[in-house]
Amino acid sequence: MKVIKVNLKERSYDIIVGHNLLALSGRYLSSLKIGNSAYIITNSLIKIKYGNILERSLRKHGIASRFKLIPDSEKSKSLSIASSVIRDLARYDNRKKVFVIAFGGGVAGDLAGFVSSIYKRGVPYVQIPTTLLAQVDSSIGGKTAVDLAEAKNLAGSFYQPKMVLSDVKLLSSLNKRQIGAGLAEVIKYGIIRDKNLFSYLEKNMPKILALKRGALEYIVYACGKIKADIVSKDEREKKGMRTILNFGHTAAHAIEAACGYGKYNHGEAVGLGMLVASGISDKIGLLKPGMPARIEKIIKTAGLPTKISNVPLTKIISAHYRDKKFIGSKNRFVLLRDIGRTKILCDVPLALIKKEIKARF
């Protein structure tokens, strides 16, 4: 078991990474002294698989619980579901000291965080992430949100959890595509910040794909440390440090939007987006020779697509121009000099962007 500290003064918290932590969740959560009634937001699949272990451990440590089941879909990140969850929580919270547990992937995490941030102007919540993506990314940093018809994640808040419990044993029931979705972000952390992590991925991808305990603990801890460090320095994305976390995401958002959400999951689009960004970095002479090939190889070995199919290039380009990450009318790319060294560039020529996206067809 390893602990990472997110340093945010009075909002500081620990990320605990280990194997079989869920069975000890009651002990960890009771030590926080945030309440004796847990309102667990999850979906039925996760409740069936793991609900008993969580409930039993909480009970053993004097914490009562109630499960609130939400649909297993991005559609759960909506104002209408948030409102029904809040009303249900209000009915449960009758003279109790209640706190919320976000138990699931990024969908449960984002919704539960959002609900916790606005119910009674904020009640404590903890994250127990159950997907690789949620363990390395969405459970850390306090970004909560629901989607609006106009765009994804448009209504939200910054609201930090009191603890993140990342039990890698829970990842054993994920399928290959769900693992790939998280691995794209893991590769991203290696590329933007950590040469050792990148080399580890080059050497150990088969162990990760086989969901070996040691390999999963290594990557979840390494990524958690990087995200915790960036968030500690730039909690609200005001100083530009969180921007590097968007490496690969400019083109990824355009690919997701152009293809319709669902054809490529977010991680697959990020894999393609990282190839576009490394291609641009290479063409403008920023990136060390040999690097684009290494990056492409690691994305391939993770089982992520390296080619785009069945969508017109023009659709991706127009989606790119609608992206909210544009500053004024300028595009903004996180580019690379080397593994671990990024550079943010505005106004990358459209012809170059087109060329690099085209290279992915």
> Which CB sits closer to ligand NAD, 239 or 337?
239
Where does this chain touch ligand NAD (CB under 6 A) — which range of 53-61, 63-71, 133-141, 188-196? 133-141
Check 253, 256, 268, 320 and give the catalytic one: 253
Stretch that binds ligand NAD, among 6-14, 43-51, 52-60, 114-122 (CB under 6 A): 43-51
Task: Give the DSSP letter of residue 302.
Answer: T
**Cα–Cα distance measured from residue 184 to residue 165, given in angstroms and rounded to the nearest whole number:** 21
Neighbour-count burial of 96, counting CB atoms closer than 10 A to its CB (0-12 exposed, 13-18 middle, 19+ buried):
middle
DSSP state of 262: T
Q: Does residue 45 belong to the site contacting ligand NAD (CB under 6 A)?
A: yes
Per CB under 6 A, does 107 bind ligand NAD?
A: yes
Residue 237 makes contact with ligand NAD by CB under 6 A: no
What is d(CA 9, CA 256) in angstroms, rounded to the nearest whole number?
Answer: 37
Q: How many chain residues bind ligand NAD (CB under 6 A)?
A: 26
Report helix angle 176-193 to 266-283, nearest 10: 30
Give the nearest distance from C-beta 95 to ligand NAD in angstroms: 32
Which tokens in the block code for residue 271? 């894999």
Q: Does 174 bind ligand NAD (CB under 6 A)?
A: yes
Q: Does 89 bind ligand NAD (CB under 6 A)?
A: no
Is 19 tagged catalytic?
Answer: no
From 11-19, 116-124, 135-143, 331-339, span contacting ligand NAD (CB under 6 A): 135-143
Which of 333, 325, 340 has its CA nearest to residue 284? 333
Closest CA to 333 of 320, 347, 319, 317: 347
Instruction: Decide whether 170 or 276 has the Cβ nearer to ligand NAD.
Output: 170
Which residues are CB-neighbours of 121 under 8 A, at least 6 positions away? none
Determine the Cα angle at 352 with ends 348 and 356, to 5°. Answer: 120
Nearest of 89, 208, 189 to residue 136 by alpha carbon: 189
Contact pick of 57, 78, 130, 342 for ligand NAD (by CB under 6 A): 130
Give me the residues paired with residue 341 across strands. 338
Contacts of 289 (CB under 8 A, 6+ apart): none
- From 93-101, 160-168, 174-182, 281-289, give the range in contact with ligand NAD by CB under 6 A: 174-182
61 is catalytic: no
Beta-ladder partners of 129: 104
Among positions 104, 248, 271, 273, the unique one binding ligand NAD when judged by CB under 6 A: 104
- Contact with ligand NAD (CB under 6 A) among 106, 124, 161, 271: 106
Among 173, 199, 306, 314, binds ligand NAD (CB under 6 A): 173
**CB 100, CB 74: distance < 8 Å:** no
46 binds ligand NAD (CB under 6 A): yes
Does position 74 interact with ligand NAD (CB under 6 A)? The reply is yes
Nearest distance from C-beta of residue 181 to ligand NAD, angstroms: 5
Among residues 303, 184, 198, the alpha carbon closest in space to that of 252 is found at: 184
Residue 131 near ligand NAD by CB under 6 A: yes
* Residue 158 DSSP class: E
Active site residues per annotation = 121, 143, 185, 227, 237, 242, 246, 249, 253, 266
Q: List contacts with ligand NAD (CB under 6 A).
A: 43, 45-46, 72, 74, 77, 104-108, 110, 130-131, 133-134, 137-138, 141, 143, 153, 170, 173-174, 178, 181
